Amino acid sequence: MHVRYSFRMTKKKSIIRKSTKLLPAKRLAPLYKRVQAILERAQETAARSVNTAQVVANWLIGREIVEDEQRGSTRAGYGERLLQDLSLRLQKQYGAGYSVNNLEHFRKFYQLYPVLLATGNIPHAARGELAEGSDDTIHHAPRDEFGKRLPVRAGTIPHAPRGNSDAVRQNSGNPRQPWKPGQLNTGLSWTHYRTLLRVEKPHARSFYEIEAVNNAWSARELERQINSLLFERIAKSKDKKGVMRLAKKGHEILGPADVFKDPVVFEFLGIPKTKRLQETDLESMLITNLQDFLLELGKGFALVSRQERITLDGDHFYINLVFYHTVLKCYILIDLKVGKLTHQDLGQLQLYVNYYDEERCTKGDNPTLGLILCTDKNDAVVRYTLGKGNQKIFASRYKLHVPSEAELRKELQRELKMLRR
């Protein structure tokens, strides 16, 4: 008995030792990466579903509040009492997320986005509002600002490809149809929409909505672009037709002039107004805050190098920043100036651009562009130095703090005056 018992224990220990032996890392790595990708996609899908369900729920709550207020509009103070009483009851059961302030946001959300759910499948988390027996019809059709029901079309909510301007919705039996601002997009969370509610101008709101989807902006990035008056800075030199196109298509890059903003805003550097800067200091701070810098420059910019040296017959020159633009397929050389722009600065940048065209560009590259960022410029000096038809050298002012709309209007008037000369 003793020998038999010892043998079984030894055999069992041997089995345990074999089961705890790890596979070689090289053998396990491919499988681990595939499983990891599955889990990450699942987590991303779950987070998107939760965000979308919250957006839909808040929109539906806002609709119910608006409709109830319309039914009781003849009673003085009804709307105010309604939100207060509803908030008290909801907070008792669901927590502090249903304050009067938040309910007012839900109401405004429905009023500004009346066709948010006019088409498409609603995510599972919000399908309590769907018609019985159908996943493709909304039980309560949305209404316009006058309370009239809007038509409902079958389809699906777009899982908009982040960073894709052609985010599409697949309709039942219909060809792919493009997503439009004002319709639900799963790339936008409730925090995105709540930030958009602050934008009073409809054209500007549509523009920011499109750009947030196309560029996969986080809610923080969206807020920064709104605070820096991105729409006003791009629209200030466009006519009415151009502004309408911004609201429908977002910021399109059709040529070199569409790439550069004027002014450029560096408020993210947090530089005090009283501090005196050197060009090297500004360059270092921009590189340190590269993500915010690229966000301000706009889509398509990829950093290539900084302080790139070029040598011509023993003379050394240094280009502050070199970028490659993935949309225009060209190099963009940026020169930083902490003072007022001079014609010598423009001439020096022209030298850099000509050098790059001859020595660095390869087959497939479009002509190099140059941009000078300066604190001030004389538009007449720029115009006469570069000549008419210039499409290679540009000059923009930079601001260390967000300009006001009044300042932007003043700059627009100055530019229009220059164009009329």
In angstroms, rounded to a whole number, what is the distance separating the alpha carbons of residues 93 and 87? 10
In DSSP notation, 270-288 reads ---TT----HHHHHHHHHH
**What radius of gyration, in Å, describes the C-alpha atoms of the chain?**
29
In angstroms, rounded to a whole number, what is the distance separating the alpha carbons of residues 208 and 231? 8
pLDDT given for residue 106 in this prediction: 93
**Strand intervals (E) in 114-189:** 168-170, 176-178
Return the bridge partners of 335, or none: 372
Q: Please tell me what DSSP assigns to residue 376.
A: B
Q: Is the pLDDT of residue 234 over 80?
A: yes
pLDDT given for residue 206 in this prediction: 93
**Share of residues in the chain with pLDDT > 90 (%):** 27
Q: Is the pLDDT of residue 12 over 60?
A: no
For tokens 């010598």, what's the residue? 344
Q: Is the pLDDT of residue 294 over 70?
A: yes
| Dihedrals phi, psi of 55, to nearest 5 degrees | -60, -50
Q: What is the pLDDT of residues 137-192, one digit of tens each?
A: 333 444 444 444 444 333 333 333 334 434 334 333 334 567 888 989 888 999 99
| Dihedrals phi, psi of 312, to nearest 5 degrees | -125, 105
Which H helix or E strand runs over 110? helix 100-112
pLDDT given for residue 384 in this prediction: 85
Up-side HSE of residue 234: CA atoms within 13 Å toward CB? 26
pLDDT band at 49 (very low <50, low <70, confident <90, very high): confident
Q: Is the pLDDT of residue 339 over 70?
A: yes
Label the pairing between strands 168-170 and 176-178. antiparallel
For tokens 């209007």, what's the residue? 409
In angstroms, rounded to a whole number, what is the distance separating the alpha carbons of residues 365 and 370? 15
Contacts of 60 (CB under 8 A, 6+ apart): 126, 129, 140
pLDDT band at 365 (very low <50, low <70, confident <90, very high): very high
**pTM for the structure as a whole:** 0.67
pLDDT given for residue 125 in this prediction: 43
Mean pLDDT of 227-253: 80
